[in-house]
Amino acid sequence: MLKKVTWIWTIVLVLMASVLVGAESREYDIVIVGGGGAGLSAAVEASSAGASVVVLEKMPYLGGSSLLCGGGLAFAGTDMQAEEGVEDSNEDLFNELMEVGGYQNDPALVQAYIAHQLDTYYWLKDLGVIYNFLETGGGMKIRRMHRVKPAQLIDTLAKAAKANGATILTNVAGKRLVRDSATNRVTAVIAEEDGKEVVFTARKGVILATGGFSLNPELLGKFVPAMANAKATVGPGSHGDGLLMGWALGADLKDMPYIKATYGQYPEGNNPNAREMVYYAGAIIVNKAGERFVDESINYKAIGDVALLQDDGVTYQIYDEKIRQYAHETRTRMGILEGEGMVCEADTLEELAAKVGISPSGLVATVEEYNKSIKQNGYDTKFNRTGLAAGVGDLLTIDEPPYYAFPSTGVILGTYCGLAINDKAQVIDVFGEPIDGLYAAGEVTGGFHGSGYMSGTALGKAVIFGRIAAKELTKN
């Protein structure tokens, strides 16, 4: 109790001090902190309902991880799926999301996603967002990942928000939340602009949309020590600012132990496109001893966990010419990997192993055992791999030269955990009560994914919950 009184007074004093030293104050209905997919979707939704809105973005440009990402959005029952003969439904999506999340996810949040997903697909389409193609992503059994170009998505959202009258400020960092000492309501954000403090007062509420904390080793180490020094390829503002701001007000945190690395990233450099899951087209994954260590058809984040435990965390996707051709038909980045010289090629497995530094005898024995098992049983008995991805798709033997090796490791592409929210996107405190006036959306939140992540639902969650938060704040 004493602690609570102390921090409330600290915030009140900070605000009073700001006023005394003449900090500028500006007033809006809604203050949104973070200008990525979640923040901009909230801005479009709120401004279209007539609210006065400001988006604070700490970087010189908008987009965050949403701009860097693969642009996959998981939707079910769309016209695009119907045109391509893909049958999908809310029920299937709900069940698969719960399964992928290990039933650790909050069904109320998954249900909220389901309730708004199809409407959001058409909302984006009506705004002018272009869906380029459908794909099967990690953790899904059918093609429901609708690919957009991230830059086109961000540009469309930013233009729509501005056209509705929203104010979008870059190079302005949210620093602290202000709570009214009498009502306990969150009423403002103290931010830094040009080295000066500015108080952005929110008449209706504040939405935290600051993304994840993949670039904050101290925070990573606090929750999952093994990830503290893992490679991360994310938006440059991913330091967990919003998480800390909400946490400081007593917000509960969800899904923190489940931070995972995505498997399939080229170990060198920092190119977000140097990543491919050839294993979902039939490749096997081996370590430096040439040994397989996992069922390659499981979720790529679960593979990331075991891959990081291998010698140096570096492993190899191994495949032959027919798998390469199938990967070219079904995957998107094969051309980039080959064009940039990341894939090693050889006429024999021994030669391939020697070129990349794997044990030649180990690799030959592994491939022989794998091929034999598929021919004899129709599946791999060693790790019980029964399909290409999520148990679906016939396995292919590796026996048509040339052979290929793509060195791969796990990379953090997002933290997918954080502030507890309810199905209205209100931030929930450690006692299960909503923090009045405080909402959060996107990667800064936890509870939706549970212990695993289905491709396309992080960007999907950002857009959907950004809209939910804005709708809640503008409904009266």
Ligand X SMILES: Cc1cc2nc3c(=O)[nH]c(=O)nc-3n(C[C@H](O)[C@H](O)[C@H](O)COP(=O)(O)OP(=O)(O)OC[C@H]3O[C@@H](n4cnc5c(N)ncnc54)[C@H](O)[C@@H]3O)c2cc1C
Give the residues lining the site for ligand X (CB under 6 A): 33-39, 56-59, 63-66, 68-72, 173-174, 209-211, 233-235, 237-238, 241, 272, 413-414, 442-443, 455-460, 462
The neighbouring-strand residues paired with 32 are 55, 207
Query: What CA–CA distance (Å, rounded) separates 440 from 286?
Result: 41
Query: What CA–CA distance (Å, rounded) separates 251 from 396?
Result: 49
CB atoms within 10 A of CB 111: 15
Q: CB 24 → ligand X: shortest distance, Å? A: 17
Is 373 or 409 the residue whose CB approaches ligand X more closely?
Answer: 409
Is 70 or 447 the residue whose CB approaches ligand X more closely?
Answer: 70
- Token look-up 């977000």 returns 272
Q: CB 212 → ligand X: shortest distance, Å? A: 6
Q: CB 213 → ligand X: shortest distance, Å? A: 9
Is 336 or 365 the residue whose CB approaches ligand X more closely?
Answer: 336
Contact of 398 with 284, CB cutoff 8 Å:
yes
Is 204 or 275 the residue whose CB approaches ligand X more closely?
Answer: 275
Is 443 or 472 the residue whose CB approaches ligand X more closely?
Answer: 443
Is 300 or 326 the residue whose CB approaches ligand X more closely?
Answer: 300
Q: CB 303 → ligand X: shortest distance, Å? A: 16
Amino acid at site 310: Q
Cα of first residue to Cα of last residue in the chain, in angstroms, is: 34
**Two structure tokens written together for 395:** 């396995």
**What beta strand segments (E) does 268-399 contain?**
284-286, 315-320, 344-346
Q: CB 271 → ligand X: shortest distance, Å? A: 9
Q: CB 69 → ligand X: shortest distance, Å? A: 3
Is 407 or 414 the residue whose CB approaches ligand X more closely?
Answer: 414
Q: Is the dihedral of CA 327, 329, 331, 337 positive or negative?
A: positive
Query: What CA–CA distance (Å, rounded) separates 33 from 191?
Result: 9
Q: CB 88 → ligand X: shortest distance, Å? A: 17
Q: CB 402 → ligand X: shortest distance, Å? A: 29
Determine if the peptide bond prior to 402 is cis (ω within 30°): yes
Is 275 or 288 the residue whose CB approaches ligand X more closely?
Answer: 275
Is 211 or 437 the residue whose CB approaches ligand X more closely?
Answer: 211
Q: CB 382 → ligand X: shortest distance, Å? A: 31
Q: How far is CA 408 from CA 179, 228, 342, 459, 461, in A?
A: 47, 19, 10, 24, 28
**Two structure tokens written together for 374:** 């598929």
Q: CB 436 → ligand X: shortest distance, Å? A: 21
Helix (H, G, I), strand (E, B) or coil at 254: strand
Is 206 or 353 the residue whose CB approaches ligand X more closely?
Answer: 206
Which residues touch 379 (CB under 8 Å, ≥6 apart)?
373, 385, 386, 387, 395
What is the longest distance spanned by two Cα atoms in the chain? 80
**Two structure tokens written together for 94:** 């709900």
Closest CA to 15 of 175, 170, 219, 227: 175
Relative to beta strand 24-33, strand 53-56 is: parallel
Q: How far is CA 316 from CA 46, 269, 386, 393, in A?
A: 47, 17, 20, 21
